[in-house]
Structure 1
Amino acid sequence: MPTKTKLKLFIGIIITAVVVYYSIGALKGLHVGELFHVHINWGLALVSVAIFAYANYIRGLAYTRGIDRDMDRMTALQIVGIGHAANMVLPFHVGEGLRAAFFPRGYSAIKITNLLVIPAFADFAAIMILSIAAVPFAGFKDQNLLKALWILTFLCIAAFILFVILIFFLPRLRSYLSEYLNLDTVKMMYWVLLSWIILLVSTWIGLVAFGFPWVASIRMSLAVFAATNIINFIPATPGAIGLFEYGTILGLGGLGIDPTTALSASLLLHLIQYAALLPLGLFLYMKSLHGQYGEALSNLWHTNRQKDTKSIKLKRTK
């Protein structure tokens, strides 16, 4: 077996071990046992899990029906799903960088970078659009969160204006980005935005599963979405453990929900995310190993088997 293949297999095993190790530690931080003291509709919780997982498939369409139509859907889902799963168990949003390893062979480093950075900006834009739109409908009046939203809004507008000016006055930059300044980028933004709307629906169903009324949960989901996603911009703990709970308490607190109830609801919503992303990420990771290294693993197994057979024959001969 070539040394390069052995190195890839070794790295794959190390990544798997690290993911499992951090998964155990991250899930302990959730204290999920507290959820069993609350009356929860686990059927609706499973629906929320399925919707959350489906949002990842929709997010993958930002590639296949957007900025990279040559990419197949399974590869796009692997890039999105494995990256999100890794973020749930590794700190500092490391999963965003790990996605680069799952792009098709033959993609240049520049192309991979573009295909990572551009959708990331689209994610940020989608979060801001939905969060800003959520504020008047959510009805919460937390001044710190409102101030953060307005600051981020003005920063986004200023950054967009600066970006347009740079493109207009820098022909080199315009030429560099010309490949992506087209209708496909607009379509990419549509699928990214749709995926975040589906995640918002998952949050709504999760709150209903916790026991909140259907109509009231709409406002609550908007508040939780805005608070948690803005706070999640801070790259810190695996799966934003602690930050997500704080954001949920902040969002629901603005609607008059007491902190104890809000904390329990946040644990359920966080558990839904883990239940959706970890199994999906593990499945996609194993499938990627089968696709890239399956033949190498098979050859290794056959080689070892042949060695064992020869060894047995030699012993019998002696």
Structure 2
Amino acid sequence: MSVRSLASLCLLAAVAFAVPAQEKRVHHHADLSDHAHDDTHGFQYDHEAFLGKEEAKTFDQLTPEESKDRLAKIVDRIDTDKDGFINHAELHYWIKHRQRSYISENVNRHWKDYDKNEDDKIAWEEYKNTTYGYYLGEEFDDIEDKATYKSMLTRDERRFKTADRDGDGIATREEFTAFLHPEEFDYMKDLVVQETVEDIDKNGDGKINLDEYIGDMYTPEEGESEPEWVQTERKHFTESRDANKDGYLDSSEVAHWILPGEVDHAANEAKHLIHDTDTNKDEKITKKEILANWNMFVGSQATNYGEDLTKRHDEL
């Protein structure tokens, strides 16, 4: 990706963030499902949590027999210790894996753009040359906002080095995922906070005052009265965000704001599926128990047992 295309992406991002931005910086993990978790009205939440949103759509088009056959193969993959049982840890790991599948799919789509020597790794030099390319030799001299692009390069390098856990200057697929999606990795969270402070802290004192906090979300038009949501954000800053009441947000207060503690929905879903499937109440489930409750795990909306089905996907 060239600097020109990078600038275009920045412009698109600016348009996307033109709506009230008071919650845009808060990092939440992806939802397990777009559906309400209410088993009295069906198991679509469980299907999307267990399979991932895209794969759940595939299973919706299968006959019950096909769904059960594919589910049996999935169970074998979940049973990592091959003891014939699925325990909470194994099911939790599987659901978390499916929850993050959209991220890995995104990384896979762009991998070839950066892995120029096709060694299944991405060196910092590969990323830098692909992203900034021609302009590196010119020291950004022919770019109007030279300082901005130099800052972007410095920031990218710092993030790359932080994601590169073994410090060899080369990112594995996992490390490159952490580089692109740092909010998903615990060891990157300090960097996420640091980048947020740098984005909002206009006077460079390393902390965020009320004007900077509001200015990141809202710039008034001439003669415009302040919207109610902005007034609400002012109260949030003084009453809750600024925990020590010193008039600023420091790094720990920013972390509390943008990285809120969250319920582990994947752990809760694993517990729910085991509870409703574990007939002998030994807190683990067998393939037989899972297949007996196949409609909870994968389900099927096909009613004609093979008629009018859409094109089959490859076997998992």
TM superposition score category, shorter chain reference: under 0.3
Structure 1 length as normaliser, TM-score? Answer: 0.27
Higher gyration radius (CA): 2
Q: Which has the higher helix share?
A: 1
